[in-house]
Amino acid sequence: MLREFGEYLRTRPFALAGVIGVVAITLIAIFAPWVAPHDPLAQDLMASFKPPAWQADGTWKYPLGTDLLGRDILSRLIYGARYSLLISVGSVLLGTAIGFITGLLAGYFGRWTDTILMRLGDIQLAFPFVLFAIAILAVSQERTWWQLVLVLGGSSWIIYARVVRSRVLTEREKDYALAARALGASRWRVLFRYILPNVWQPIPLIGMLNLGFFVIVESLLSFLGLGLTPPTPSWGTILADGRQVMMVSGWVAVFPGVAILLTVLSISLAADGLADFFDPKLTHGNFRRVPLPPAERADQDPADGAPLLRVRDLTTIFPTRKGTIRALNGVSFDLEKGSVLGVVGESGSGKSTLGLSIIQLLDAPGRVAGGEIRFDGKDLARLSNRELTAIRGKRIGMIFQDPSSSLNPVLTVGYQLKETLRRHRSLPPHQAHEAARQALSAVGIADPDRVLRAYPFQLSGGMNQRVMIALAMVSEPELLILDEPTSALDVTTQAQLLDELDGLRQRHKMSMIFITHDIALISSFADDILVMYAGHVCEIGPRDQVIDQPRHPYTRALLDAVERVAVTETSRLAAIPGDPPDLTRLPPGCPFANRCPQVMPICHQVKPRRVAVGPNHEAACHLIDSPPSAPSQYGTTAVEAGRAAPASSVVANDNRSSRGNSSLVETAEDARGTNSISSTDRGRGESNEG
Amino acid sequence: MPLLEVKNLTKHFPIRRGILGREVGVVRAVDGVSFTLEEGETLGLVGESGCGKTTLVRSLLFLEPPTTGEVRFRGEPVTVADAQRFRRHVQIVFQDPYQSLPPRMTIGEIVADPLKIHKVGDQKTIETRVRQLLAEVGLDPARSGDYPFQFSGGQRQRVGIARALAIEPSLVLLDESVSALDVSVQAQVLNLLKDIQERRRLSYIFISHDLSVVRYMSDRIAVMYLGRIVEHGPAEDVVEKPLHPYTRALLSAVPSLRRRTATRARLRGEPPSPANPPSGCAFHTRCPLARPECAERRPELIEWLPGRQAACHFALEGTAENRRD
């Protein structure tokens, strides 16, 4: 953690400067007696108002000059750091402590506890701070540091309380809090053991920012004569001393001012850096997509005759602190106009990344690292951002799993739909309303008028997803990408929605990419099916071929997993054991090898090539023996494709592993090091059943 | 004696309006549900979102105490006062594996906490128990120091199961426990749940909107619509020869590889609001068999065939032509 933070600071000079500043000031404050050249209270009346050393009449005995009583300004500043920091840090600690406890209690217990505590906070905020300060400070003869802490800390707790309370309100509704109660945990246990660890995170950062603020407020109080009682030095009191002699001996006021400035600046920079470190999203927020450089091989596809979408060797990566996630590893396929491609895979297979890569909406730090995405002849990965906006949302639409997060929660459905209609079709208001009603009817909404008036939260998930589809259809896209559009919905709603989508694509001759984890779901809907695993295409082909004659063991496993209506109570469901591989450390061989029931030694060593196994049907598996004349039709070299491999030739081929050259032997050694090899022997000599 | 008896359970939520919080209506989330559950048995509860199945579960656990009705556990009535004692015997596994585990506790701590709450043994026995539990649900006990985010959805759900099993309950409520998982992973978890049930003679109440999963898990199935049970019977019969048109509609919505060309009997529209339920049979607004009297008279849940109940005036009519295969 600390080392990671060090690494991170290297790339962030401002945060580094802030951290150095904070550390330096803290060290100076702690070791003041060793650092300071003089006693801060020692008077030297002979040297009253000595200017700094570099001015005429200055002396290096008092590098920053002296004040009225001849006390060394530098030493006073160094000791002043002690008191200024003590007061600020103390105030922050007091404020966070009170705020934290009240926030927790108000948020968790709600009702009257909440009402009383939060109204107290409101009063606190409405009450003039100076009055509060005078009430406590002005009456005491001897003002000590803890009185200032009481004033500053006691008046800032509400800030923390509000933040903690709102976080508790969210967390206590989560299932884990409910689960803890179901386990029989007491309310206090739920609050302190379960909820507390999830709500404190923003507090240190707010505290840091408040720390800087308190340094300033301390000087302000001293300026008003409410600071520490002289002669105790704090930056505020030194500044207050300097005020009276500002015209003649400016340095007395300037140096504490500089000290305050540098301290507050350091704290702010360090706090910003910390915030970004703990929430990397903030730094990546302004990430801009950079198009790929133009391809070296100017491969000009004539637009006519080519499929609507031609994806070749698409590679997408997510560079992270913990290594590069290889989300897509050379994905190739064609999508004809008006046809539906079903993309099937488990979580983490890269199926969602595929959709986002095509529409070029990858979240930072993800990016397309290679390959082509030719949409209507244009390579989307190489278009400029401006050219892309002419395509994205207009010619290519996208629907996500969770419709409620895709719709604006504070605008009515009607407003959002009519806005989109007006932008795309420049309709006058009354026509836009009618068009919006029609758009909703077209996706099977029976009472469009009610839905138009409703806010997204007033509608069910299925209804919101219909609205999303209606929105996407406004521009009549040629391609619609649907990423698990029905997975959050009931089976009944899912079935309805599939019917609507089927109707839409037939009416509009629209192409679709339908991404899902459930192969049964798209078996009635897709023309072609693409099976993905760990960012690789395992199998691709016409729907009936893939479902009735699957050639990849992973496809077979997915098909078995959904066949459960037929399963009786006595038998067991077919499950795929194990988990997908870590995408930052992909094995050198077939990515499915460690879960494959038919694994062979070669599978751990060599990545299988994609070969044709039927008309437009391809699979990447060592179990399939490919005649050299039938390589993938999606390969970079165009060879006669679509020749069916006779079923009898499908035998396990172990010879390939002995074909190895030196580099292959190396990867084999690697494989032995990283994969458990126990299952390898089992596969040897075993033929498959195709 | 049955393990659990539920009689006429209701859970109503008042609708309040205005600054005085005047009660203007009531949401009948659960509206008179009765069933029994034997030791070692699984009851499947099916229905769409908003049918009251989740509220029913929370009422059963007294997380939201029922408005009226009776819950008996091993013959003894359970009340709000002794809910804590009851919870030693009843546990729950939630739907969302990302929300149901506390994110900043290690999985070892998560599984150990129920043992600490109920003060089962000292530190050492607890550690041994945690290792056993993790191994039982198919997780590597060596990973007990890892945090939930380091696990996949299926593995997290296993942690949730281990936590529920920790205090050796006799009944586990599975509230859409596999719905958020990939189909391939669902199978792993369902098989695990069956193995555990066999080993420990557990009873399950298995809740889902997907009849194909419920059928695999359950001995008996109860179908819920708008807070009431509309069909109830042995799992195989309910799936193979459903009596209620709503059950048939639910079945036809399950995606299947083998029915990919057949046209399905679609259910139109959405379930009505439980704050303002339709008159008569609550399903008549969406029912393909609805007749005028369905809007007037509410059908009671009655036994039409031995061991098979349905709340439909015409329960036996639709069965012949709608029989599957």
User: What is the percentage of chain A residues whose pLDDT exceeds 70?
Assistant: 86
* A260, two tokens: 């305050």
Instruction: Note whether B250 contacts A491, CB cutoff 8 Å.
Output: yes
Cα–Cα distance for residue pair B28/B172, rounded to 1 Å: 25
Residue B190 has pLDDT above 60, yes or no: yes
- How much is the pLDDT for A567? 52
Q: Are strands B42-46 and B203-208 parallel, antiparallel or unpaired?
A: parallel
- Determine the residue type at A154: G
Query: Which residue in B50, B184, B261 is closest to A561 by CB distance?
Result: B184
* B97, two tokens: 């594996």
A198 touches B at CB < 8 Å: yes
Residue B41 has pLDDT above 90, yes or no: yes
Which residue has better confidence, A192 or A427?
Answer: A192
- How much is the pLDDT for B101? 92
Instruction: Note whether B99 contacts A565, CB cutoff 8 Å.
Output: no
Residue A520 has pLDDT above 50, yes or no: yes
Poorest-confidence range of A517-521, A643-647, B100-104?
Answer: A643-647
Instruction: Note whether B261 contacts A524, CB cutoff 8 Å.
Output: yes
Give SS3 for A368. strand
- How much is the pLDDT for A298? 52
Burial B52-73 (b: 16+ CB within 10 A, else e): bbbbbbbbbbbbbebbebebbb
Residue A65 has pLDDT above 80, yes or no: yes
- How much is the pLDDT for B58? 86
End-to-end distance of chain A based on CA atoms, in angstroms? 50
- How much is the pLDDT for B231? 94
Structural Rg of chain A based on CA atoms: 35
Kindly report the nearest CA distance between residue B293 and chain A, in angstroms.
25
Residue A181: list chain B partners with CB under 8 A.
63
Average pLDDT over residues A325-330: 90
* A612, two tokens: 């044709």
Kindly report the nearest CA distance between residue A160 and chain B, in angstroms.
21
pTM for the predicted model, two decimal places? 0.79
pLDDT in tens, A248-291: 788 888 888 898 999 999 999 998 888 777 765 555 544 567 78
Whether the Cβ atoms of residue A285 and residue A100 lie closer than 8 Å to each other: no
Average pLDDT over residues B44-57: 87
- How much is the pLDDT for A640? 34
Average pLDDT over residues A345-359: 89
pLDDT in tens, A399-409: 888 887 788 88
**Where would I find the H helices in A173-250?**
175-182, 187-189, 203-223, 235-244
- Determine the residue type at A650: V
Average pLDDT over residues A66-90: 88
Residue B203 has pLDDT above 90, yes or no: yes
Place of tokens 């002396």: A59
Instruction: Note whether B256 contacts A565, CB cutoff 8 Å.
Output: yes
A180 touches B at CB < 8 Å: yes
Residue B229 has pLDDT above 60, yes or no: yes
Residue B148 has pLDDT above 50, yes or no: yes
- How much is the pLDDT for A627? 53
Cα–Cα distance for residue pair A315/A308, rounded to 1 Å: 20
Give SS3 for B91. strand
Residue B64 has pLDDT above 50, yes or no: yes
Residue B226 has pLDDT above 50, yes or no: yes
Which span out of A447-461, A506-520, A639-653 was modeled with the highest average pLDDT?
Answer: A506-520
Whether the Cβ atoms of residue A199 and residue A171 lie closer than 8 Å to each other: yes
Cβ contacts of residue A60 below 8 Å, gap of 6+?
Answer: A53
Q: From residue A528, how far is each of A353, A621, A646, B162 by CA, in Å?
A: 19, 19, 21, 41
Query: Which residue in B63, B188, B194 is closest to A181 by CB distance?
Result: B63
Please, what sign has the CA dihedral across residues A595, A599, A601, A602?
negative
- Phi, psi of A512, deg, nearest 5: -135, 145
Whether the Cβ atoms of residue B206 and residue B217 lie closer than 8 Å to each other: yes
Residues 255-274 on A with a CB inside 8 Å of B are none
Which residue has better confidence, A430 or A651?
Answer: A430
A617: confidence class by pLDDT, cuts 50, 70, 90: very high
- How much is the pLDDT for B322? 46
Residues 324-363 on A with a CB inside 8 Å of B are 346-348
A635: confidence class by pLDDT, cuts 50, 70, 90: low
**To the nearest whole number, what is the mean pLDDT of chain A?**
81
Residue B49: list chain A partners with CB under 8 A.
460-461, 490
A601 touches B at CB < 8 Å: no
User: What is the percentage of chain A residues whose pLDDT exceeds 90?
Assistant: 20
- How much is the pLDDT for B323? 44
In chain B, which residue's Cα lies nearest the Cα of A546?
B257
pLDDT in tens, B310-319: 998 888 876 5
**To the nearest whole number, what is the mean pLDDT of chain B?**
86
- How much is the pLDDT for A281? 52
Residue B260 has pLDDT above 60, yes or no: no
- How much is the pLDDT for A631? 60
Which span out of A225-239, B189-203, B247-261 was modeled with the highest average pLDDT?
Answer: B189-203
Average pLDDT over residues B91-107: 89
Residue A563: list chain B partners with CB under 8 A.
257
- How much is the pLDDT for B319? 58
